[in-house]
Chains A and B, each alone.
Chain A
Amino acid sequence: MQTHYLIVGASHAALSALHAIRMADSEKDVTVVTRDQNLPYSPTVLPYVVSGRSAPERVHLRDENYFSELKVNFRRGAAVQNVNASGNTVRLADGEEIAFAKLLLATGAAPALPAIPGLTDVRFHVLRTLADAVALRNVLPKTQRALVLGGGLIGMHAAENLSKGGAEVTVVEMQPHVLSGYFDADASGIIEKVFAAKGVKLIMGNRVAAVAAAGEGCHATLADGSRIDADLLLVAAGVSPVMDFLAGSGIETDRGILVDDWMRTSAGNVWAAGDVAQARGFFDSGKIINGILPDAVGQGRIAGMAMAGDAGAKPYKGGVPLNTYAFFGQHAVSVGVQEGALDAAGLEVQKQLDAERAQYLKIVLKEGRLAGIFGINSAFDPGIMWELILRRTDLSDVKQAFLDSPQKTARVLMSKTWR
C-alpha cells in the first residue's frame, strides 16, 4: 500500500504528531501502524491497571471513531520489520510493504533486561504493554513474596501496588537511593521512609547477581551473597528504545535515533519522536533520550508540524528532565536538573527539608535563572516552572520572593510574561 504520512507507534508522541499533521493537512493520506493489538494507550497508566484503579478497557486515549473521522488508516498488530529510507518503504513483519512520502518513528521503548545469569530460565514479569499489565494484575492476588529489580519509577509504582495487594515486597536497586534519576538523597530518603513504613523492603546499593527457578517462583542471589525467595519477579531495570528495525537503513542511531531540532533523523524523509528519539538536551551539550510523557507530546507536535510543513512550527528547545510521582497518597515533583549536573559557577541552591512531615523543596538557580525545582508534598505549578526554565527567565529581580514563595511568584511571572 501507499500513504503520504506513515506513523509507526500509537502512543503519546505518535498521537501528538497525528494531531499536528491533521491541524495543518486535512487531506493527504495518513497511516498509523502499531505492533500492539489494542487501541492507543499510555505506558504511564499501566501501574494503575496493575493496581485495579484503571480498568484496561477504559484507558484508551483514542477510539476507532477518532481515526475514521480524521480519515486516518489505523492498523493494530502491525510491527515494522525494516525501514528502507532511500526507497521510501517500510516492510511489516507479515511481509507487506508500505510506501511513504514521510515517515515518523515513534516506536517508544521496551524493557531493558539486565545480563543476570539465570534470568532467561525463570518466569519474570515486565511492565511496558497493556498485556504485561493485565498479566501482572492477574497474578497479584496469589502473590505472597515479590521481588522487584529496579527502584525507578516503574519499579516503585509496581512495588507500591504489589504491597497494597498484600504481597511482601522487596526492591533491589543498584544506586544508593531509589528514583535517583529525579531526586537527591534527602528527597529519596523521604520516599524510602514512606515505603519502609508500609512494609516494603528496599535494598539499595546492591544488585542481583544470579537468579534460579524455584517451583513457580525463583530465588535470587544478591552481590553481597544474601538470598531472596520470591514467587513473583518483576524486572524494572530501565528501558531501551525500540529501533532494531533500523539495522541496515543508514539512519543514524546512538542510544536512540538521533534527531535534529525538528525531530528529523539523518534521513530527510524520516522523523523520530518520543522515547525512541535522542534529541538535544536543554542542559547538556550532547543529545539525550529524555523519555518522559510531556516531552513525547512536545516532540511529537514538532515532528508532525515539520512533516506537514506547518509554518507555525518552532524548533525544539531541548529536553528538560522532569517527572511527577505519586506514592501512597503523597506526591513528588521534579522539574529540571540537580545542582550536581551543572558546573559550580553562579550556582545557588536552597533546600528546605522537614523529614518528619515528609516535606521537601529544593530550588536550583544558575546565574539567576531557574535550573531545577524539586518538591515532595510541596505546592508549585510544574508546567509554569518548566516554561520558566525553557524561556531562561531572569529571576534576579524577584529572587528572594521566588525562593520564599515559588508558586505565587512564578504565577505572577507567568501572568506578566505569557498570559
Chain B
Amino acid sequence: MGAFETISFRPELCDGCNDCMSACAQAKAQAADFVHSRIQIVPSDAGYELAMCRQCGDPECVLNCPAAALSKDADTGVVAWDASKCVNCLLCTVGCTYGGIVFDAPAGHVIKCDMCDGSPACVQACPHGALKHLTTNRIYNEVGDLEDLFVPGLAGCQGCNTELIMRHTMRRIGPEAVVATPPGCIPGMGSVGYNGLTGTKVPVFHPLLTNTASMLTGVRRYYKRIGRDVMAVALAGDGGTADVGFQSLSGAAERGEEMLFICVDNEGYMNTGMQRSGCTPFGAWTSTTPVGERGHGKTQDAKNLPLLMVMHHCEYVATASTAFMEDLYDKLDRAIQAAKRGFAYLHIYSPCTTGWRFPSDQNIETARKAVETNFVMLWEYDPQGGLRLTHSTDKPLPLAEYVKVLGKFRHLSDEQIAHIERTVAENVRFVKGLAAGVPVAVARAGAAA
C-alpha cells in the first residue's frame, strides 16, 4: 500500500460560503439541495467544521458492511461504495465516527465522498483555498521505488527533517554521484560513515568547511575528462555554505562549475553546540548570541544567501521547504538538470528541533509556518525566466504565529518583533521586485542589441 491523494481542510480559511456543498450536490446528484453533498460544512461558534469521509487507512465502515458493498481501493485509497451490493442497512453509518458516510433520504441510499475520480469538485469550487487536493502522495510512491542511497540508522536528532532531505534528494539523483558533506549535522549523523565504512551507497567524502565547492569542481572535471557523467553533489549546512565555505562556493559559481550544491539551512552551527552563523536571523538565541541581562539574541540580520547566489548568475537557484514537498521536488528535478549544464544551488530550510527548541513532532509544521508568515520565501531563478515566486506571499499569517512557537525567539521584545516584521516586509518587497524585473538573459540580449 502506498500513499494516497487526499483533501485537506483548513477551517481558518473557510467563511461558510458553502460553494463546496453546491458543487458537490451538483456534481453528484445534479441537484441544488445540500442534503446530497458528500462534504458538509458545519457552522460553529468558533468558525466552520467539516463532516466528510476521511478515506481512512483502516476503515471501520468497510468492516461494518455485511454486504461487501464497501471496500478500500488499493490503488487510489478511496473507500468505494458499490450500489449493486448495498442493502441499505445503514450499519456503515454506525461505524463511522466522522459523519463521512450518511443516509441521503431523498436518494434512498448512503452517500460518501469518492474524490470525484481524482479531481474533486468541492476543491475547485472553494474560492478561499480552505479545501486543497493534496497529491503529494505521488512523490512518496515514486520515490519509494527508487533506491535509498544512505544506510539505515542515521543518527539525526529526533524530529529533524535533514534525513528526509538527504534520503529524498539522493534517491532522486541516483547512484551516479559523488557526495561531499562538509562538517555539520549531515556528516555528524553518520552519512560519512564509521570505522572505515561509508554511510552511503555512493562515494562520499568529508571536505574541509572551506573547500567543498573546490573539491567538487575537481571531482566533476575529472569524471568528465574520463567520459563519465557523474553528478557532483554537496550536502552542506548553512555555516559551510554562507560563512566558512563561501569563498570556494562563490568561486565555483562564478566559474559556472557543473555541480548541485544543496544548503540545508538550520540557521546556525547546530551540531557543534548551536553557535550563530551568517544565516542566523535577528534576535535569535544561539550559544554565541546569548540572552541575559545585556544580550537579547543576535543583533544583526541574516544574510540572504540564495539571493547572493542569484547574483552569481547561476544556472539555477531555488529556495525550498519540506512543508511543500511537491514544490521541493519540482525544484530538485530542475536543479538536477541544471547541474549538468552549470552551477545549481538549492537552499532548503531545516527547522532545528534541538537548537531552536520546539517539540520534535512540530518540524514540518514549523517549516510551514515559516513560509506562510513570509519569514522565508519560496522562489526559483534561472537566467532565462528570471526569479519566480512559487508560493504566494499575499496573505501571510501573523509573524507571531511563527516566532512564538520557537524557544530561540521566546525572549523577543515587541521592538525586536517589530524589527523582524520590518525585515520580512522589506524582503518580500525586494524579492517581489526582482520577480517583476527583467531576467538576466533578456537583459543580456538587450545589451547586445
**Using a CB–CB distance below 8 Å, which chain A residues touch chain B?**
12, 15-16, 19, 23, 41-45, 48, 53-54, 58-61, 293-294, 297, 322, 324, 326, 329, 331, 333, 335, 377, 379, 381-384, 386-387, 407-408, 410-412, 414-416, 418-419
Contact = CB atoms under 8 A, between A and B. Distances in A.
B68 A383 contact: no
Contacts of B84: 58
Interface residues of B, number: 33
Given A53-B87, A297-B64, A379-B105, A386 B51 contact: no
B94 A324 contact: yes
Interface string B32-65: 0000000010111000011100000010100110
A182 to B, nearest CB: 13
Contacts of B49: 411-412, 414-416, 419
Given A293-B64, A408-B42, A412-B49, A324 B95 contact: no
Contacts of B418: none
A387 B88 CA distance: 22
14 contacts: A12-B63, A45-B87, A48-B67, A329-B108, A331-B88, A379-B103, A382-B90, A383-B60, A383-B95, A384-B99, A386-B94, A408-B42, A412-B49, A415-B49
Interface in B275-311: none
Interface of B: 11, 40, 42-44, 49-51, 58, 60, 63-64, 66-68, 84-85, 87-91, 93-99, 102-103, 105, 108
B51 A324 contact: no
Nearest to A377: B105
A197 B42 CA distance: 38
Nearest to A417: B97
A335 B49 CA distance: 24
Given A331-B103, A379-B102, A415-B44, 17 more contacts: A12-B66, A43-B66, A45-B87, A331-B90, A381-B51, A383-B93, A383-B95, A383-B96, A383-B97, A384-B96, A387-B97, A414-B98, A415-B42, A415-B49, A415-B51, A416-B44, A419-B49
A293 B85 contact: no
A382 B87 contact: no
A379 B50 CA distance: 17
Contacts of B64: 12, 293-294, 297
Contact of B42 (A60, A297, A412): A412
B97 A15 contact: no
A293 B88 contact: no
Given A19-B63, A54-B67, A381-B102, A411 B51 contact: yes
A276 B58 CA distance: 25
Contacts of A383: 60, 93-99
Given A42-B66, A326-B88, A418 B44 contact: no
Contacts of A377: 105
Contact of B91 (A44, A384, A418): A44
A324 B91 contact: yes
B93 A324 contact: yes
Given A379-B105, A386-B94, A58 B63 contact: no
B63 A415 contact: no
A419 B10 CA distance: 12
A297 B105 contact: no
